[in-house]
Structure 1
Amino acid sequence: MELIADGVSVAGLHGPLLLPTSLRATPRQVTVVAGDPGHGHTALALALGGRVTTASGEVTLDGSPDAALRRRHVSLVDVPDVTSPEDSLSVRAAMAEQLALAGRPSSRAATRAFLGGRGSGALATMRFETLPSHERTSLLMQVAASRAATTVLVVSAPDRFGGDPGRWWRTAEDLAAEGLTVVVQCTHATAKGLAKGIHFELGVSA
């Protein structure tokens, strides 16, 4: 499904959280949105996912501005203080929580099978906060993608944890190749380091 934001802004109590921003993301592609760290990334993710009222502009999914449609089909990955797991949890507990949010079986056995199927079974007892950054982001992308209704992934600032962005980028590309529309929000430095180009920018409206 094609996701388009046209001059979308989000207001805060004391000023704008997101200046007018435009983007177009299409299936089977990873679309990069670059910007400075901060509230802008979170506000854009929430706007794309139909989870916040916009102050201006419009977001459409396959031509429809229906926020309920986006809430159904757009999965927000690791948005700070919104969909990010608690760091104090074990990997197993964090994944069980994420599987439940995705409408998937989340029993101990189901969680073990999910982790094992992705070669991450040995990580189950680790604290989530100690995961290598690429493992964290890749697992969260994969569990969000496993939700039956998901057609769009919005991955929020995965570079905030450091590490080699090329490793979680490969997961993003793999999921896009399966037919998903994938939006990755990151800093300008990360986008340049990935050598994938900056497709769109926070606060830039077409």
Structure 2
Amino acid sequence: MKIVLDSVTKGSRNAALPPTSATFATGEVTLARAETEQRPTVLGLIASGRMRPDAGTVTIDGNTDYGAMRRKIALIDAPDVCEPAADVTVGGIVAEELMFAGRPSNPIAVNRALAELGASEWGRYAIGTVPPTVRIGLLAELALLRKGVEGLVITSPDRHGGDPNEWWELARRLAGRDLAILIVAGDASAAAIAATSLVARLDESTAPRPAGAEDAAGTFDEDPGRDDTDELPDVIVATAHPEPELHATALAEDPE
């Protein structure tokens, strides 16, 4: 599956979203930069087929099909749209998502799902108190319970704090499960991820590399001949994690 956003805009004088282009595809994770309070959510809605742009085009596998996008792409944690209330317990969120997925949502089913997700210790915690990567991983896994979901659009994970490289690695592991992942985040997170990617690439340049090996740390979606230190790219793309791990690894953090 491949989603292409080409110069999409929204709002009077493009105030809600200036011209923005991004591509995300199966087996990859893409980070698209969006600043201000409103723009990340607008971009997330457009990228998941839930809002039509005022200008520009959005395609899925070469076709304009918003219905297919809504069926195949889950929108995750978008502010003011689908973010869970901060005081709702993790167990309560799991129960609701099980119901949306057409599965039993009784306490036994919830406890079983929490155990399968490696998140039993978080069941009684309010979602607003769990670590950012645990939150994102949990909401992503619950969305994937829905039939037909092949991609995720994760909106503003950086607003929860923490190290952006942690949820970037989580997203790469998800992409390794044949999913298409788009993350919409701000400049600071993009800069941190780009810096880590640059260091990794510099380290790799000093060691022998097998022919045809891909850069697992991430690449800038720009001219391959440009200097990545010239400016921060609008889009960062990484291939799937070289050794995808089960979701439980990302969720199993000590709640103290």
Deviations 1:38-72 (A, max 9, x none): 21110011111221231001111111211111111
Q: What is residue 184 of structure 1 aligned with on the other side? A: 183
TM-score in terms of structure 2 length: 0.73
1:2 aligns to what?
2
Matches within 5 A, 1:23-34: 23-34=22-33
What CA distance in whole angstroms lies between the structure 1 residues aligned with 2:157 and 2:97? Answer: 17
The SS at the match of 1:19 is strand
Aligned to 2:201: none
* SS across alignment from 1:25: strand
Aligned residues of 1:92 and 1:111 also touching (Cα < 8 A): yes
After TM superposition, the structure 1 = structure 2 runs for residues 38-57 of structure 1, keeping only pairs within 5 Å, are: 38-57=37-56
Any stretches of 5+ residues in structure 1 without a counterpart? none
The residue matched to 1:21 in structure 2 has which SS? strand
**So what's the TM-score if we normalise by structure 1?**
0.89
Cα displacement (A) at 1:105: 3.5
- Opposite residue 118 of structure 1, the aligned amino acid is L
Q: CA deviation at 1:134?
A: 1.3
- SS of match in other structure, 2:16: strand
Q: Percent identity?
A: 32
CA contact (8 A) 1:76 1:156 kept: yes
Matched-pair contact (CA < 8 Å) for 1:34–1:198: no
- The verdict on how the C-alpha distance between 1:186 and 1:110 changes in structure 2, with shifts beyond 3 A counting, is same
Equivalent residue letter for 1:85: P
Q: Which moved more, 1:153-162 or 1:34-43?
A: 34-43
The Cα shift of 1:180 comes to 0.4
- 1:123-145 Cα offsets, whole Å, 9 max, x none, are 10111111111111111111112
CA distance in 2, matches of 1:50, 1:170: 25
Residue 106 (structure 1) shift: 2.6
CA spacing shift, 1:23–1:103, aligned 2, 3 Å? farther
> Which residues of 2 match residues 68-83 of structure 1 at below 5 A?
68-83=67-82
Larger radius of gyration: 2
Whether contact under 8 Å (2:153, 2:183) holds in the other structure is yes
Give 3-state SS (helix, strand or coil) of 2:17's partner: strand
1:26 to partner: Cα distance = 1.4
Q: 1:110 to 1:170 in 2, by over 3 A?
A: farther
Match of 2:66 in 1: 67
Paired residue total:
201
> 1:150-161 counterparts in 2 under 5 A?
150-161=149-160
How far, CA to CA, are the matches of 2:83 and 2:220 in structure 1?
25
Structure 2 residues without counterparts, runs of 5 or longer: 197-217, 222-232, 236-256
Alignment of 1:157-172 (within 5 A): 157-172=156-171
- Give the aligned CA root-mean-square deviation in angstroms: 1.9
Q: Name the CA distance, whole Å, in 1 between partners of 2:101 and 2:21.
A: 28
Query: Residue 79 of structure 1: SS of its match in structure 2?
Result: coil
